[in-house]
Amino acid sequence: MTTIAVYDTTLRDGTQSEGISLSVEDKLKVARLLDELGVDYIEGGWPGSNPKDEAFFQRAKDMVFQHARVTAFGMTCRAGGDPAEDANIGALLDAETPVVTVVGKTSMLHVKEVIRTTPEENLRMIRESVAYLKAQGKEVVYDAEHFFDGWRDDRDYALDCLRAAVAAGAENVTLCDTNGSSLPPQVAEATAAVFDALGDRAEVGIHTHNDSECAVANSLAAVEAGARLVQGTINGYGERTGNANLVSILPALQLKMGYDCVPADRLRRLTETSHFVDELCNLTPDPDRPYVGRNAFAHKGGMHVAGVKADARTFEHIEPGLVGNSRDVLISELSGRGSVVSRAESAGIDLDADAAKRAVETLKEREHRGYHYEAAGASFELLLRRETGEYEPLFRLEGFRVITEKRADGRVETEATIKIWVDGHRYVRTAEGNGPVNALDRALREAITELHPHLAEIELVNYKVRIMDTHHGTGAVTRVLLDSSDGQDRWGSIGVSENIIEASWEALVDSLEYAFQPRNAPGGARQPADDAPAPVGKP
Ligand SMILES: [Zn+2]
């Protein structure tokens, strides 16, 4: 079977997407998920461009990846410049990644109009930049920017650019449809010609954008024409209309075209990975997304349902389980119970058959109301513990009140008062905060930490709010995702309500109650701070 290298650029090109902003922690989590999915390359960012990407590479150095290699992205040296003295190339080396990807001009139009230099000087910039990085021991991918436009404009020059990169030692030249203008026949023709021209001196890669809605089709066409590395992003994130969507490309190549991309058991993580990355980006997973959407295999029409029951192949293009999706919109009794039981086991929770059944029911009902536990492992585990019947809550709430006051001078002040019972004692505490959630958090901590001082060390490290239009006719609800840390471990909790304070309160209480639980076995929601929380399989 022919192997296709999978090159993910979610963390670089994908974050160019309008409305996506990932913290360094989030980027590390995505990198962990991509490694677990089995991708070959993770492009972590552009170290010369911003401090956040530099911080990512600093942290990624200490992470152990099972399979993936991290790559840093940057440009060739400037016209008239020396790569050894180029600050951006220096930043690429400082990232200390095994692989470096350099992008360079390939189209005569861009050489003349954008960087305003001579065709020969551009070839020198490519050659010397690649050679310099090779001399530093890097594996080098050359991204040929605007390749297909350049090919249509002046194919000899476009090929000269690729040859310059290959002659200097680049292992891979990736043909980029940077503005997404190309259509599958054009991509196929140009890729085949490049493949012929380069022979086996370098691998050919493909990087497409979706402006003509052909990014996935173009990637597949390029592979058929000889490309052996595919670049793309999870869920097709990217600027304008997006990049090539790896979530659609992987099953197409692997299940339909017979190429080898990731191990089959990893492909089963595709749905979970797609949803989890959406959660980290604070986006609602698109229910209509091919392969992984909740509607991708949902059958409504009576005839279809009967057909699927008779033989699934009649109405389904693939077996949903191969990509980790399922036919049912909500958790099926069977798969739901399986994931509940295995999760309970790994967290050391004794869940009998009745309790497991109740947990599945609760889970179903909650998913229906907008809870998603992919990024909220702590809340999921507490849900299981509460079903055991032996769960002791940390405290009992008598009531709370939050007051926000805006003054004439523009100042806004918030104060929360809380009344709770802990171990038979009543505590009434008031605290101020920079917002209602912060004030509530402080008041609650003040009340609790008298008996449980170690809870003072818990820090809320990430707070994400999403207004969700539920598809169940109940109107909009607010969902809050909270990440907490005690300096060593991190965990995620969730709250859902029509009221943002109530949703925040719920996530906050789960966060503290979880911290109060006995230290969990490996595989529990509690993970070292560097790691992603263990994904709760979308049941
Ligand atoms: Zn791009």
Expressed in angstroms, the distance from the first to the final Cα of the chain is 32
Q: How far is CA 407 from the centre of its chain?
A: 42
Ligand 1 center from residue 123 Cα (angstroms): 21
Ligand 1 center from residue 80 Cα (angstroms): 26
Q: How many C-beta atoms surround the C-beta of residue 391 within 10 A?
A: 14
Report, as an integer, the average pLDDT of 285-307: 76
Q: In what order do the strands lie in the sheet with 459-469?
A: 459-469, 476-485, 489-497, 527-528
Q: Model's pTM, two decimal places?
A: 0.77
Ligand 1 center from residue 178 Cα (angstroms): 5
Residue 218 has pLDDT above 90, yes or no: yes
Ligand 1 center from residue 179 Cα (angstroms): 8
Ligand 1 center from residue 435 Cα (angstroms): 39
Q: What is the DSSP string of 150-216?
A: HHHH-HHHHHHHHHHHHHTT-SEEEEEETT----HHHHHHHHHHHHHHHTTSSEEEEEEB-TTS-HH
Burial class (CB in 10 A: 0-12, 13-18, 19+), 150: buried
Q: Residue 404: which H helix or E strand, with range?
A: strand 396-406
Ligand 1 center from residue 240 Cα (angstroms): 10
Phi, psi of 245 (to 5 degrees): -90, 110
Ligand 1 center from residue 143 Cα (angstroms): 9
pLDDT tens across 379-428, in order?
Answer: 999 999 999 888 889 899 999 999 999 999 999 999 999 999 988 899 99
For every residue of 39-99, which 3-state class applies, written as one string?
CCEEEEECCCCCHHHHHHHHHHCCCCCCCCEEEEEEECCCCCCCHHHCHHHHHHHHCCCCE
Residue 134 has pLDDT above 50, yes or no: yes
Q: Beta strands 41-45 and 69-75: pairing type?
A: parallel
- Give me 135's structure tokens: 């001399």
pLDDT-derived band at 308, boundaries 50, 70, 90? low
Residue 272 has pLDDT above 50, yes or no: yes
Burial class (CB in 10 A: 0-12, 13-18, 19+), 185: exposed
Distance between CA 251 and CA 318 in Å, rounded?
A: 9
- Give me 457's structure tokens: 């060390």
Using only C-alpha atoms, what is the Rg of the chain?
Answer: 26
At residue 333, the pLDDT reads 41
Ligand 1 center from residue 225 Cα (angstroms): 20
pLDDT tens across 25-44, in order?
Answer: 899 999 999 999 999 999 99
Block residue for tokens 């709760």: 536
Ligand 1 center from residue 180 Cα (angstroms): 9
Ligand 1 center from residue 13 Cα (angstroms): 6
Q: How many helices (H) and strands (E) does the chain have?
A: 18, 15
Tell me what the pLDDT averaged over the chain comes to: 88
Distance between CA 325 and CA 335 in Å, rounded?
A: 11
Report, as an integer, the average pLDDT of 148-168: 96
Distances (CA, A) of 283 to 17, 74, 286, 351, 460: 12, 28, 9, 33, 21
Percent of residues, the chain, with pLDDT higher than 70: 91
Distance between CA 417 and CA 447 in Å, rounded?
A: 10
